[in-house]
Structure 1
Amino acid sequence: MNKSSKSKSVWWNWENSNSEVRSSKIKKSKLRINYIPPFFVILIYGVFLFYLFPVKTLVSTWIFKFVELLQITKVLKLSLLTDKRLYDYTALFVISYIAFAFFLDLVRFLRKNLFQIFVTEENRLAVTKWGLLGKETIRWNPDQTGLQIHHKSGWFRSLLGLEKLSFRIHLSETENSVLAESPYFFSKHNPEFLSSVFRSV
């Protein structure tokens, strides 16, 4: 097998490839992630906000009708309870709270699927996670005892670039500790990285 055919061999044929190729140590290989899911989620969140805030007037009206249904305005007889601005600000608070809750979910999703870098460095795997306070890097040997590498693959995931790797330390029969979970990726774009992670020892 010549050098060009080795470089063009696809990931799912790695088990049928020469064992010497699989066991060779790649000096440095970076996981090329799929940027479509993070972009798609940001787009969905933008559309969500676009349609959420115009609903403020409707929410304000519902809150006012609910207060009237309970006859709170007749019992307390406060002018504040009949002021439309009170219900407008309350509706704005409710909608902002919902938007912020979904924003936190968006940040968690992007941190896991966009702001992580997976690199193989000879016989080690380095994962760099970026956050508001800087970056955090962890390194370990993929061949270490007790490490489980889960590859979420399949035809549908491979087609859409929704494959994932998760690295877990086996603690007991019922407990695993997750070291890291990769962003989404296409296996066909990462033959060197995957071969270095799943190399024969």
Structure 2
Amino acid sequence: MNKSDTSKSVWWNWENSETEIRSSFSRIKKSKLKINYIPPVLAIAAYGVFLSYLFPFRATVSLWVFKFVELLQITKVLKLSLLTDKRLYDYTALFVISYIAFAFFLDLIRFLKKNLFQTFITEENRLAVTKWGFLGKETIRWNPDQTGLQIHHKSGWFRSLLGLEKLSFRIHINEAENSVLAESPYFFSKSNSDFLSSVFRSV
């Protein structure tokens, strides 16, 4: 097989490829996973649209809270002027809306941490995963060939077309439990052939 054929060899044919192809890939010293930035950008945009519709909704929430208090006849029982003050319900609605917005913001942060603030690099026979957070960064290194490691690749035609492929690295503990070491951001396999080849290399 000539050099041009070797360069076209794709990682999913790794186990079936010839020895000289595998040895050429095993000489890759360092390769970085090129992530797909579209899902994080879409998530941020969706959150912005969500907020733009959520906060104007606070007037309706204020009215609902007031009607609920009236339905329970709390104003007639307690007879407090505060309970008939519109500002009380406006502030209550603002608190409810802000709480919902903050809850979705935490979900957005978790999504971005998994799909934007992670770096996957192969360094010779090691895989290094760096995660960034508010307090700094955390780096995990291990050998992908170690015993008990399971590498789950979420692929398929639809995922590969949209760049929604993922890698999940797990240590098999028993039949009912796996310990997740890391989960990659979304990526396109076509632009990560070197990285995937180094991860799925022949032992």
Q: Per the shorter chain, which TM-score range? A: over 0.9
Take 2:27 and 2:143, find their aligned partners in 1: how far apart are those partners?
A: 12
SS in 2 for 1:180: strand
> Secondary structure, in 3 states, of the residue corresponding to 1:171?
strand
CA distance in 2, matches of 1:111, 1:41: 12
Of the three residues 64, 87, 90, the one matched with 1:88 is 90
User: How far does the alpha carbon of each residue in 1:9-57 deviate from its partner, in whole angstroms, 9 at most, with x for none?
Assistant: 3333434433332242310000000111111111111100000000000
In 2, the alpha carbon distance for the partners of 1:49 and 1:3 equals 54
Alignment correspondent of 1:17: 17
Q: Deviations over 1:154-189 (max 9, x none)?
A: 111111111000000011121110000000001111
What is the aligned partner in structure 2 of residue 157 from structure 1?
159
Specify the alignment match of 2:48 in structure 1: 46
Is residue 159–residue 165 contact of structure 2 (8 Å, CA) maintained in 1? yes
Measured in 2, the distance between the counterparts of 1:186 and 1:11 equals 13
Alignment partner, residue 139 of structure 1: 141
Amino acid of the residue matched to residue 71 of structure 2?
A: L
Return 132-141 or 20-29, whichever deviates more: 20-29
Q: Comparing 6-15 with 127-136, which one deviates more in the overlay? A: 6-15
Identity %: 85
Tell me, in whole angstroms, the C-alpha distance in 2 between the residues paired with 1:46 and 1:19. Answer: 51
Deviation at 1:7, TM superposition (A): 3.1
Q: Which one-letter code corresponds to 1:75 in the other structure? A: V
- Aligned equivalent of 1:167, options 154, 169, 173: 169
Give the CA deviation at 1:4: 4.4
RMSD: 1.3
Q: What's the counterpart of residue 190 of structure 2?
A: 188
Contact 1:11–1:190 under 8 Å retained in 2: no
Q: How far apart are the structure 1 equivalents of 2:107 and 2:149?
A: 29
Runs ≥4 residues deviating over 6 A: none
Gaps of 5+ in 2: none
The amino acid that maps onto 1:19 is T
- 2:197 partner SS: helix
Distance 1:25 1:145 in 2: 22
CA distance in 2, matches of 1:151, 1:19: 23
- Residue 32 of structure 1 is matched in structure 2 by 34
Is 1:60 paired with 2:62?
Answer: yes
Q: How many residues align?
A: 201
Q: Aligned-pair distance for 1:8?
A: 3.7
Does the CA contact (< 8 Å) of 1:150 and 1:165 recur in 2?
Answer: yes
Contact 2:15–2:202 (CA under 8 A) maintained in structure 1:
no
